Structure 1
Amino acid sequence: MDSFIKGMALFATVVEKGSLAGAAQVLGISPSAVSQQMARLEREANVSLLHRSTRRLTLTEAGRVFHEHCVKVLEQAELARQRLNEYREAPLGELRLAAPSGLASSLMSEIVRPVLLAHPQLQLSLLFQDGILDLIEQCIDLAIRVGPLPDSSQVARHLVDWPNVLCAAPSYLASFAPIVEPEQLQQLDWLLMSTDTQPSLLRLHTEQGAQFEMQMPSRLTANNIIAVKQFALDGLGGAVLPEPEIREHLRSGRLLHLLPQWQAPMISLYAVTARRDAQPAKVTVMVETLQQFLRQRERQARISASSN
């Protein structure tokens, strides 16, 4: 099929230029090579396409009909090439983006608003889910994932690191003695994310190098971080949540930061695609926007925290 389409292009060029020599000059090959390829095309079609004389070429009836179809096919091929270039050079079409449910908030709105305003031909389809989706099966162009990433065949680009915070509502902590040592954390019921690889294991450390590890007792798990946060706000137990997710609740006092001198491992966010090469512009632009926005937001938060 590929050689036949090349033959169509050569035949259309011969007709356009009116001679084998004219076509050879355009195609950058010798007239004899053009003649040989035309002969092969006629043998494969088993029909004459041109009447040849020493002074001119004329189309047979079959050649005239074939030429009309060649022109249409080549026009469509050129249009297809142009459309591919558009997808490579500018964000357009549908971008299917999967993200954790915690981003289904004003944060995601802040991220996508400037992209949509800058690129009117782009449409976004957002899928919020804390579980791992199959990018290929679900036709997902880009996914925001929390590391570590289990599938090494996928391509991940680091976006930002968020601190994890031990927290609980004042109403829940009222029935316990003030928590000043990590061992006291074992007294609490913990609200856990069932999508975590080790949901009940808590590891803490201090800047001085001290370490603490425990299994967190739990009576309630959920596969959605928004639900876990709400359960914590309602006083059903302690939770380990990304600091940006609860930043405003910590400021307002609806949640209290437990043992701030002890730190849980950071949570890393990645932009994940099924392949590295030949990414359309819509994916490239969104990854760069995510990285710039999230990192700038965290820098501003650190500056704000250090000034208070």
Structure 2
Amino acid sequence: MENKHITYQMQLYAALVRAGSFTQAAEQLGITRSWLSQQISGLEKSLNTLLLHRTTRTLRMTESGERLYEHAVVMESLLEKVQEDMTFAQDSLQGTLKISSPSALAQVLVLPVIQTLRKRHPELHIELSVNDSVEDLLRENIDVAIRVGPMPDSSLKARYLGTFHQYWYQAVEIKERDDQIITLPWHHDKGPADLKVNNIHTATEMAKQGLGRVLLPDIFALPLCLQGELEKLPISVPDSIQSRDVHAVHPYSSFTPNRITVFIKAIHQQFDNQRALANTHDGF
């Protein structure tokens, strides 16, 4: 393969895949659409393979294109690592960190870490996506995601953060166990739900207003219990406790950017702090 520009072309290809169209990618990169198309065609010629199925409206990667995209992401990570090591001091984080988190853990885990990182590393730009669906890290260009539940086999690298417990909670003013149930999409043993909602904050507000009991992570519900807005039902209530593992996942293999390593270390410490706090107030 004799092409001195293949690294540049792979970077253009990765940007094209993320943008989803030649027009949008060209605008984002500050180049012409024809130049971008020429470079991608040159890349396909150099590799002697078709990377994309093109239509007037959409782009779809071939199997070879998907493999090349994974290599391109690794290459971008390596180039960024080299730049970080050669240009910036070891204790300084720069660039962009894109994080994905489920809504139940964003406030208690991710936001405190973001606050700390912003104070220590003011040149670090952070993008937070709060989403209860499982986002494609490569497709959405996400650096690190917080995931709850069992980890499927994949190419993603996972760091175990800890385990939270789910209990039934209800409004404090209700004297007996509320048989009205509020359920969320990820609840497994739902039973006959009286109210269904797709957002944990709305479900919590419904419980606070006395509309029913809801199954919540203890580290999420603890501040509300301490404020006297919710109370945890006794553990003797059937199915009152469930354990869920939490992981931080990222798509980088051998060359993990320093900002990812620092964030995961910080989020792990924050989880330990929240777990210890929940254990201390186990009666709530």
TM-score by length of 1: 0.59
CA distance in structure 2 between the aligned counterparts of 1:128 and 1:4, rounded to whole angstroms: 41
Answer yes or no: is 1:234 the counterpart of 2:209: yes
1:118 maps to which of 103, 120, 125:
120
Q: Cα deviations across residues 139-173 of structure 1 (Å, max 9, x unaligned)? A: 100001111234533221111211211111245x4
Answer yes or no: is 1:267 the counterpart of 2:269: no
Are the structure 2 counterparts of residues 144 and 3 from structure 1 closer, same or farther at C-alpha, using a change threshold of 3 Å?
closer
CA contact (8 A) 1:168 1:235 kept: yes
Answer yes or no: is 1:244 the counterpart of 2:219: yes
Deviation at 1:299, TM superposition (A): 1.9
Aligned to 1:105, what secondary structure does the other structure show?
helix
- Indicate the percent of aligned positions where both proteins have the same amino acid: 26
The answer for the alignment partner of 2:229 in structure 1 is 254
CA contact (8 A) 2:81 2:256 kept: no
The answer for the alignment partner of 1:132 in structure 2 is 134
The answer for the alignment partner of 2:167 in structure 1 is 165
CA radius of gyration, larger in: 1
Query: What does residue range 56-205 of structure 1 map to in structure 2 within 5 Å?
Result: 83=83, 85-86=85-86, 91-105=93-107, 107-150=109-152, 152-171=154-173, 173=174, 178-179=176-177, 188-194=179-185, 196=186, 199-201=187-189
CA distance in structure 2 between the aligned counterparts of 1:231 and 1:156, rounded to whole angstroms: 34
Are the structure 2 counterparts of residues 126 and 87 from structure 1 closer, same or farther at C-alpha, using a change threshold of 3 Å?
farther
CA contact (8 A) 1:135 1:274 kept: yes
CA distance in structure 2 between the aligned counterparts of 1:167 and 1:4, rounded to whole angstroms: 62
CA contact (8 A) 1:169 1:255 kept: yes
Comparing 244-253 and 222-231, the one that deviates more: 244-253
CA contact (8 A) 1:189 1:216 kept: no
1:299 maps to which of 267, 276, 279:
276
CA contact (8 A) 1:131 1:223 kept: no
**How many residues align structurally?**
207
CA distance in structure 2 between the aligned counterparts of 1:240 and 1:81, rounded to whole angstroms: 42
Deviation at 1:294, TM superposition (A): 1.4
Comparing 162-171 and 123-132, the one that deviates more: 162-171
Q: Cα deviations across residues 82-136 of structure 1 (Å, max 9, x unaligned)? A: 5253589553200000011123436533222221222232110001111111111
TM-score by length of 2: 0.63
CA distance in structure 1 between the aligned counterparts of 2:3 and 2:155, rounded to whole angstroms: 35
The answer for the alignment partner of 2:198 in structure 1 is 223
Are the structure 2 counterparts of residues 224 and 81 from structure 1 closer, same or farther at C-alpha, using a change threshold of 3 Å?
closer
CA distance in structure 2 between the aligned counterparts of 1:163 and 1:247, rounded to whole angstroms: 11
CA RMSD, 1 decimal? 3.1
| Unaligned ranges ≥5, structure 2 | 6-78
